Every structure is written in C-alpha cells, then in structure tokens.
Amino acid sequence: MNLQMIFAGFGGQGVLLMGQLIAYAGMLSGKEVSWMPAYGPEMRGGSANCSVVVSDEPVGSPKVEDADVVVAMNKPSMAAFEKSVVPGGLLIYNSSLIDDKPKRADIRAVPVPVSEISSELGSPKVANMVMLGAVAKLTGAFSAEELVDALRHKLGSAKEGMMQMNREAIDRGMAVAEG
C-alpha cells in the first residue's frame, strides 16, 4: 500500500484532524505514515489542508503533489486541489457546500452531503467524521474500528463522552459511500 492523500477545507472544519486520524490509523496498523499540515494565519475561516501518506514502505517525502485521494470540504479547496488528483484517482467532496461538479473526467468524483448528515445526527461538528467514514469506505484503507481507535488515541479519555456520536458519524459516512 502507498496511499497519498490531501485533505482540504477551511479552518474549523476539522480537516487537519481528519488527516491526523488517517495517519494515526495507519501507524496503529503498523504502516509507515506522514502528516504535514498547511494553513494560513487565521484559525477559523482561513484555508487549511494537509498531506497524508500511508505506506508499507518508508515515506520519502511528506509533501503530496500527486494524490491518489483528495478530500475537499469547500468550493475553494476543490478548485485548488482537483488538479492534484492522479488520473484514475479519487476526489471526495462535500456536496453540502460544493454545488459545482468536478471538471475532470479522468478521475472518480464522489459527492458526500456531510453537513446534512451531521445535522441529522445533531451536531455540525461531526461533519469531518462523516467525511472520514466515507473516505475509509471508498479507499478500503481502514475500518470504522481502526478510525475509532485512532480517534481515542488522539482525543484521550477526557473526550470519551463524544465517542458515540463520532462513531455514528463515521458509520453514516461509510453507509452513504456504499451508495
């Protein structure tokens, strides 16, 4: 396995956390990983993205330019990173905020209504977990259990009360990705 991914959106959408959780899940399953964030000086509302590599071999560079998977949580991110998807690669986008269709015909593009699903679950804050579930299902890289283990590792026991809703969000993302 050598999975190169870019997660992009605006600050506050949990884009960097999604990337961290993929990296943690990879690390916990014995893979070589890298996670490299990039963001503007703004905390919320500014652009944020991260490059993630999960591999069976040592990672040569943490910077992803030719991505197997791009996750776009908002319209500017899709505009900026659609070109980074390799031919035959996967673009997963938040159809709740992106009403444009991807321009490229040589990639697989999957819309996921993460905002609507997270609202149905009772918290817009779990939109990133819905997307993470969709990413895991569409790539086949991780199970829901591996993502939940990574989330527990990242958040620690102090946030255990949030695990049920996050698990539901991951499961819903996986279900919507199945079609």
pLDDT at 156: 79
The residues spanned by each domain of the chain are: 2-178
Phi, psi (deg, nearest 5) at residue 89: -80, -175
CA distance 43 to 41: 6
pLDDT at 149: 93
pLDDT of residue 49: 96
| φ, ψ at 17 (rounded to 5°) | -65, -40
Per-residue pLDDT, 161: 74
- C-alpha gyration radius of the chain: 15
Cα–Cα distances (Å) from 42 to 39, 98, 127, in that order, read: 8, 22, 21
Q: How confident is the chain (179 residues) per 10-residue block, as mean pLDDT?
A: 96 94 96 92 78 96 96 97 98 96 96 97 95 97 95 80 91 92
Cα 48 from Cα 41, distance rounded (Å) = 10
For 96, residues 6+ apart whose C-beta sits below 8 A from its C-beta are: 113, 114, 115, 116, 127
CATH architecture for residues 2-178: 3-Layer(aba) Sandwich (3.40)
